[in-house]
Amino acid sequence: MCDLGILHCCSFLCSYPKPACMNLRVPELPDSEDAQGDRGLPDPRPAAPEYRGYDSAGIALDTPDSINITIIKETGKVQALENEIEVKAHAIEFANTHNTHVGIAHTRWATHGVPSPVNAHPHRSDDDNSFVLVHNGIITNYKDVKKFLMLKGHEFESDTDTEVIAKLIGHIYDNHKECSFREIVDQAILQLEGAFAVCIKSRHFPGECVATRRGSPLLVGIKSKTKLAADSIPILYSKDAKTTLSPDHRGVGVLSAPVPSTPPSLTPPTLSRADSTSQFGPLGEDKQVEYFFASDASAIIEHTNRVLYLEDDDVAAVKDGVLSIHRLKRAIDDPHAREITTLKMEIQQIMKGNFSSFMQKEIFEQPESVVNTMRGRVDFEHGTVVLEYISEIRRCRRLLLIGCGTSYHSCIATRQLLEELTELPVMVDLASDFLDRNTPIFRDDVCFFVSQSGETADTLMALRYCKSRGALIVGVTNTVGSSICRESHCGIHINAGPEIGVASTKAYTSQFIALVMFALMMCEDRISIQPRRYEIIQGLKNLPEQIKLVLKQDENVQTLAKELYEQKSLLVMGRGYNYATCLEGALKIKELTYMHSEGILAGELKHGPLALVDKQMPVIMIATRDPVYSKCINALQQVTAREGRPILLCETGDTETQAFGSSSIEIPHCVDALQGILTVIPMQLLSYHIAVMRGCNVDCPRNLAKSVTVE
């Protein structure tokens, strides 16, 4: 599909493109606004900064008559949409109070169709805006569905795959007007293949909202002034799990020829219990309630911290202020209800504070974030590490670490230590490549899936592939309640705090430490390893203060950035534990500065990359006093022999190494297995400063998004 961000509008956290929001007996713009942003939808004034990387945004609102729907869409940043809303505010009448009002919004990251107002969400079923929806994901059979709908006379105005969902829902309604809103959506999603999270509103069903998901994240935030009557919402099932559309509709995915124009009547599925959840709602006389549908918890934390997470094929419907959850099919292990949980995130965690950007803030938060990762898990006094499920993991024959991008680099960074301390074979794979190869997986494998968001599509698909083959699944995420978190047998929450900037910084170092803690736990009963284990635990103890020392090099890094920001290419070299730093540092420079950069294993220098070296090519060499130091110096001398003028990352006071370079950045000495944490921070700072000097948006790099929930 064309976007990444159903309601990621509120990943932007601007007050108008909120998550899809539905209010009962709440004014659209109350006279008083409390600290939690006690507003209905919409308020065109920004409540929190925009973030992440998107190319267009849109919003759909009830008109003053509460029947028709107004759609406003703009390309570019959310500010452009805000400006357009201000222009059209007279037609929306924000100050009106309604018993019920519904708004949906979206920020788009293009996958089908170029960024343009017509391709932006929300999409509509017809010119009358009968059904309007926003969508996150990719519909893989959209061409077949589109062909079917075109044969039925439907015309398309965009290049997106999302529009077929709106047209399909409209087509089903036209043929089966006796069905409820939720039943129409039930039947539509049966025809769709791929990943989606969708939120829909309709002029035919004023005051109602329906949302569903499959493969893409979706949660519901609940806000009320009084206590809720229950802490869970029961799931309603169809008695006939095999109920589908008539032959006219069943063939949507594979249709290649016209079908009869007058299909048999659709029989809506019957439910095994009353289609009501009236027992769920606020207690007391004040029945005001607000529901927020969002793909990201940070989108709604300004409004509520009470959420429930929808599972694949859940259909959530709101009618008359009552939220119900339906499923057409019952799985053997399905729970009877969806629990309401309380988010521990706070609004202050997603604000910039005194920093100029989220990325800068997150780089400088790392002394605290690494402590939070270790808190309650590492006992420095007794030299113990506490993580659960260890007995099952110790029976494994092989470890597999799987991730994408920065998460993949954190796996590379800790592979050597895992092999050393566990004495097990350790495979590290990019999730997409892992899936392409159909890698053999066995029941005695333990598979780690590393993802900051916990929603990375390729990583999630790899998880399901391994889980279906009987492997033990361990999730390493920064997001409680994410798909990877929920679908893993056990996991490590890295506790780095919300990471807003698209380019990952503090999540990388926390992932690194989480995997180091696992390695330490695996070898706690091996006597021969204890001296090495103690050395690493002491290194973890000293790490926060050492990170602070590295951050004090910020001015020196900024001076170095002034020498490099006009370059067109950059090489980063190292080996051993610092090879992952080369990969991660090069990725950060590419992401943020749009400068070509390449992370090179120093041992491979003479097998090709040396041809790139001359006096014009900037080369950063990481050379710390570890077991491969002498080999790094050999590579360094090869660079200087070709008139290269390397920039060195070396240890404090190492004048011998500094003599080989044109300039240097010093880092404190630490145990070799943890060097990658200290050496990556100067690379984060360097990429940040170069990006600022080149006029790039460090929080929202072009063409990139924070949580890649599409393949």
Q: In the chain, where are the structural domains located?
A: 50-237+286-342, 358-694
Type and span of the H or E element at 691: helix 675-693
Strands 232-237 and 322-327: parallel
Residue 353 burial (CB count, 10 A): 11
Sign of the dihedral defined by the CA atoms of residues 412, 416, 417, 423, in that order:
positive
Assess whether pLDDT exceeds 90 at residue 137: no
Whether 358-694 and 50-237+286-342 are alike in CATH topology: the answer is: no
pLDDT value of residue 258: 36
Question: Region 671-679: what's the mean pLDDT?
Answer: 96
> In the CATH scheme, what is the code of domain 50-237+286-342?
3.60.20.10
Between CA 446 and CA 454 the distance in angstroms is 18
Class of the CATH-defined domain 358-694? alpha beta
Distances in Å between the Cα of 585 and the Cα atoms of 66, 550, 638, 668 are 52, 15, 22, 18
DSSP per-residue codes, 536-552: HHHHHHHHHHHHHHHHT
What confidence category does residue 341 fall into, taking pLDDT thresholds of 50, 70 and 90?
A: confident
Residues 6+ apart with CB under 8 A from 639: 573, 605, 610, 613, 619, 621, 646
Between CA 337 and CA 116 the distance in angstroms is 41
Please write the tens of the pLDDT for every residue from 620-664: 999 999 999 999 999 999 999 998 889 999 999 999 999 998 999
pLDDT over 60 (residue 250):
no
Whole-angstrom distance, CA of residue 392 vs CA of residue 166: 47
**At residue 64, does pLDDT exceed 60?**
yes
List, for residues 509-536, the tens digit of each pLDDT value.
999 999 999 999 999 888 999 999 999 9
Give residue 29's pLDDT band: very low, low, confident or very high (50, 70, 90).
very low
pLDDT of residue 351: 72
Question: What pTM was estimated for this model as a whole?
Answer: 0.76
